[in-house]
Amino acid sequence: MKKIFFYIILTLAGFRVAAQDLNARVQVLSPKIQGSNKRIFQTLETAMRDFLNGRKWSADPILPQERIDCNFVLNITNWDGSSNFSGELQVQSSRPVYNSTYSSTIINLTDKDIDFIYNEGQTIDYTDQSFQSNLSSIMAFYAYVIIGLDYDTFSPYGGSSYFAACQTVINNAQTSSYRGWKAFDGNISRYWLCENLNNKAYAPLRSFLYDYHRNGLDMMADNTSKGLKAIASLLPSLQQVDRLRVGAMLPLIFYTAKSDELVSLFTKAEPQDRLQAMNILIQADPANGNKYQTLQGSSPTTR
């Protein structure tokens, strides 16, 4: 009996080690590309999916049900008919809320600086030691961002080691001529996202991510009022985040992912809390002011 138990433990342990980190759904779209033979886009889609889901990105054992749900949608806008591609990449990830069927969006961004070389049937290779290709570096970068932000929502600054890995990708890519990796490639870029994630100036936003999810959303299934009040108490910290700084990309990413959710949450609040939340959010995120103003005329709803 002991031997059977021992083998079961070994099997389970091996299963945990083998389990990967991401549950990535990948789509490669090419509506602007003329021609009927688009098989290379299908093989590219499969190669990207295998690369993201087949690699062990984190240091921790992850159960299959714990894998991070994410979406990579690559829209090819230019192709030379051979191996040179250009396009835009939409990256999304979500996190399940405790004891509910709801998943909260963590990241939702579009990277418009996507240029790479890919040959049909090619294996996508990546190493943290050097720049191999732009395609593998871009996907590795966003894999680390997704995992780091997910970890930040489960423990205070839990994603720091993965944001350091993002920096390694950035550093290695400095030898390339591709856009998105350098400070002068525009304020909305992989460079500035990485800079923000590793910059202590944005620590309040990372801290907010943890408290918002663990002490707010995760509490709402058991006590909606308590969870909502916890989130309301956190909102003033958003006013500390500097959105006017050059390359202030992390606040943009945060509000793109969370503005609709915040409005939805506070439609359930009492009038005083709802109006207070509206005023804080409009000041912290004026770009989405019209969304937050809808709270003025909302009535509390029950879940």
Which sequence spans correspond to the domains of the chain? 1-147
Q: Is the pLDDT of residue 272 over 60?
A: yes
Predicted pLDDT at 2: 32
pLDDT band at 245; cut points 50, 70, 90 = confident
Nearest to 197 by CA among 242, 131, 251: 251
In the numeric block, the tokens 């500390």 are attached to 240
Cα(105)–Cα(99) distance, rounded to whole angstroms?
16
Between residues 38 and 137, which one has the greater pLDDT?
A: 137
pLDDT band at 301 (very low <50, low <70, confident <90, very high): low
Task: Supply the pLDDT for residue 36.
Answer: 66
Instruction: Assess whether pLDDT exceeds 80 at residue 302.
Output: no
pLDDT at 246 (0 to 100): 82
Q: CA nearest 153: which of 300, 270, 261?
A: 261
Question: Which H helix or E strand runs over 117?
Answer: strand 103-117
Among 94, 119, 246, 110, residue whose Cα is nearest residue 183: 246
For the chain, give the percent of residues with pLDDT over 90: 83
Question: Which residues have CB under 8 Å from 160's CB, separation 6+?
Answer: 148
DSSP 123: P
Cα 122 from Cα 224, distance rounded (Å): 50
Report the distance separating Cα 300 and Cα 268, nearest Å: 4
pLDDT for res 298: 62
Q: What is the pLDDT of residue 244?
A: 79
> Is residue 7 scored above 50 in pLDDT?
no
CA atoms of 115 and 232, how far apart (whole Å): 42
Total residue length of the chain: 303
Q: 162-185, pLDDT tens digit by residue?
A: 999 999 999 999 999 999 999 999
Closest CA to 280 of 245, 244, 251, 238: 238
Structure letter (DSSP) for residue 288: G
Specify which residues 238 forms β-bridges with.
none
pTM value is 0.91
12, pLDDT greater than 50: no
User: Are 106 and 146 within 8 A, CB to CB?
Assistant: yes
Residues forming a β-bridge with 108: 92
Q: Where are the alpha helices (DSSP H) in the chain?
A: 2-18, 39-54, 134-152, 160-173, 190-198, 203-210, 218-220, 224-234, 249-266, 271-284, 289-293
Please answer whether residues 86 and 76 qualify as being in contact, where contact means their C-beta atoms are separated by less than 8 angstroms: yes
Stretch 119-127: mean pLDDT: 93
Please provide the average confidence, as pLDDT, over all residues in the chain: 91
What pLDDT score was predicted for residue 155?
97
Residue 300: the pLDDT is: 57
pLDDT (0 to 100) of residue 3: 34
> Is the per-residue pLDDT at 268 higher than 50?
yes
**What digits encode the pLDDT tens for the residues 185-226?**
999 999 999 999 999 999 999 999 999 999 999 999 899 999
- Token couple for 71: 């979406």
Instruction: Give the model's pLDDT for residue 17.
Output: 41
